[in-house]
């Protein structure tokens, strides 16, 4: 006869297969944020709401989903915007430099870029030209 599985005392590892997107939607429904598709501002509100609920003991800080939502939100808030990275890479190529030069000539040299991006892009372009 086989032993009863439930009678054995063993540790069981539990896996949560919910996607990050559904996890964020789940916590958004708790009314910490306004939208399901989150802007950085709404993400910060959701993060503060989760932290507040943990302090009020409405959420268990040891719960795997609570730990994971905090990690997902932290990653989202600290990650560099992927689109800006692609654009900056494009402007360091010869085609990108040519496009930008032509565009600025056609638009009377107006500087359309934000100050922080224009400084970073200029530094990268200058470094590329030196090589």
* pTM of this structure: 0.46
9, pLDDT greater than 70:
no
> For residue range 12-55, what is the model confidence (pLDDT) as tens digits?
677 778 887 788 777 777 766 655 556 778 888 888 989 999 99
Per-residue pLDDT band at 117 (split at 50, 70, 90): low
DSSP letter assigned to residue 6:
G
pLDDT score for 4: 57
Flag whether pLDDT at 58 surpasses 70: yes
pLDDT of residue 114: 54
What confidence tier does 2 reach under pLDDT thresholds 50, 70, 90? low
Query: Which residue would you say has higher pLDDT here, 33 or 75?
Result: 75
Task: Convert the pLDDT of each residue in 78-112 to its tens digit.
Answer: 875 666 777 778 888 888 888 888 888 887 765 55
HSE-CB at 24 with a 13 A cutoff on CA atoms is 22
Q: What is the mean pLDDT of residues 61-80?
A: 85
Domain coordinates in residue numbering, the chain: 20-78, 82-130
Distance CA 87, CA 107 (A): 19
Long-range contacts of 82-89 (CB under 8 A, 24+ apart): 84/117, 88/117, 88/120, 88/121, 88/124
């Amino acid at each position: 006869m086989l032993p009863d599985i439930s009678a054995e005392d063993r540790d069981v590892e539990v896996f949560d297969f919910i996607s990050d997107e559904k996890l964020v939607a789940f916590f958004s429904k708790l009314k910490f944020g306004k939208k399901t598709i989150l802007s950085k501002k709404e993400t910060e509100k959701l993060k503060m709401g989760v932290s507040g609920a943990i302090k009020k003991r409405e959420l268990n800080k040891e719960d795997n989903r609570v730990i994971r939502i905090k990690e997902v939100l932290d990653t989202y808030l600290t990650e560099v915007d992927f689109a800006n990275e692609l654009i900056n890479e494009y402007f360091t190529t010869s085609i990108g430099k040519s496009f930008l030069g032509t565009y600025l000539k056609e638009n009377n040299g107006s500087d359309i870029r934000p100050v922080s991006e224009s400084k970073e892009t200029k530094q990268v372009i200058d470094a590329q030209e030196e090589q």
